[in-house]
Amino acid sequence: SNFPMYHGLKRLLSTGTVCRIKFKDALLRRDKTCRITKQISDVCEAAHIVELKDCWKHDKLGINSTGNGILLRRDLHTLFDAHYWCINPRTLFRKDKDIYGHITAKIIFNKNISIKDTDLLKYKTIDIHVDSLFYWEKRYLEFFNRTK
């Protein structure tokens, strides 16, 4: 064809879309509901704990592995990506796993969160998967550095 670069880009974008669909499907199977609100998956999105833009910093992360993902209600995903909340993976409320491999952590909020979403403030904990602790460590360091 006359535009080999275009076809390469199209193939790359298609591969990325397939990866995102597989990522979300895997999180739907694992998490079932929003990990904060417990709302049904119809209102949820697959969120990356370590953001896609930061994947180059951590070569071996496996950016679309389920360990780097969590199912969140859409608005909470937006606030998460904007760094309005996080968890400190070293301060777990419940360290014993449930039957799905989830443990409970305390949610910490950026000082500006009350301006954006008072609904979120009523949630104090989040169930995270034990396979995600490594990724939460990386996310917490970034969150901490942004809010100090």
Query: What are phi and psi for residue 82, nearest 5 degrees?
Result: -85, 5
Across the chain, what does the average pLDDT equal? 79
69, 23 Cβ separation under 8 angstroms: yes
What confidence tier does 53 reach under pLDDT thresholds 50, 70, 90?
A: low
87 or 16: which leads in pLDDT: 87
Q: What are the tens digits of pLDDT across the range 60-95? A: 557 788 899 999 999 889 989 988 889 988 877 766
Measure CA 36 to chain center.
12
* Model confidence pLDDT, tens digit, residues 98-125: 777 788 888 888 877 665 556 777 888 8
pLDDT of residue 13: 46
Which of 53, 122, 57 is CA-nearest to residue 85? 122
Cα 122 from Cα 37, distance rounded (Å): 10
For residues 30-42, give the mean pLDDT: 91
pTM (predicted TM-score): 0.78
Phi and psi, residue 42, nearest 5°: -60, -25
**Paired residues of 46 in beta bridges:** 71
